[in-house]
Amino acid sequence: MFRTLSFTALALVAAPVFAAENPMVGGAAMYDSKTIVENALNSADHTTLVAAVQAADLVETLSGEGPFTVFAPTNDAFGMLAAGTVEDLLKPENKEMLAKVLTCHVVAADAMSDAIAGMIADDGGMHPVPTVGGCTLQATMDGEWIKLKDERGRTATVTIADVKQANGVIHVIDTVLLPAM
């Protein structure tokens, strides 16, 4: 389902550009020995994302070897969508669209924030980030934060960067990114 992309074909994430021990996410410890799905299940801030991943039948894929970089919108980010959007996307008849939205948050590479910031700098301030869902995000820096703009012009900030996983990395974002449709 996912196509392989070279690491240099990436770029995104926000939050101060430095790496350290895995931060807590949603009140839960994140373990680099667990997969993206295993860790996300423990985050109180990502229950909507987990429900969406399950409804789109992406659990097995995101539990796979990877590597994946996942820009993980919080429950609050999903709450900023128009009323009824999440409920509609979770309906079985909208599974294909839900999968498209979710895979526009996934890159087939392991991209830590320092590498992303370097790609942005190397590209003169903006780096295109192709996702496994066929979307291309535009990554930029705003001070020490990395921002991602989707194909509709919506911008997300990475609020927690560099959450290492056994099969990649999670960067928590504050906005749901959407495909052009």
Q: Structural domain tally of the chain?
A: 1
Q: Tell me, what's the pLDDT at 10? A: 36
Q: Are 50 and 70 in contact (CB under 8 A)?
A: no
φ/ψ (deg, to 5) at 97: -65, -40
Q: Tell me, what's the pLDDT at 9? A: 36
User: Is 19 among the domain residues?
Assistant: yes
Range of the domain at 97: 7-173
Task: Look up the CATH number of the domain holding residue 113.
Answer: 2.30.180.10
User: Is 178 among the domain residues?
Assistant: no
pTM score of the predicted model: 0.87
User: Is 1 among the domain residues?
Assistant: no
- Looking from the CA of 40 toward its CB, the CA atoms found within 13 Å total 29
Q: Tell me, what's the pLDDT at 16? A: 40
User: Is 181 among the domain residues?
Assistant: no
Q: Tell me, what's the pLDDT at 24? A: 83
User: Is 179 among the domain residues?
Assistant: no
pLDDT less than 50: residues of the chain: 1-19
Q: Are 47 and 153 in contact (CB under 8 A)?
A: no
User: Is 169 among the domain residues?
Assistant: yes
User: Is 113 among the domain residues?
Assistant: yes
Read off the pLDDT of residues 57-80 as tens digits, 9 standing for 90 and up.
Answer: 999 999 999 999 999 999 999 999
Q: Tell me, what's the pLDDT at 18? A: 42
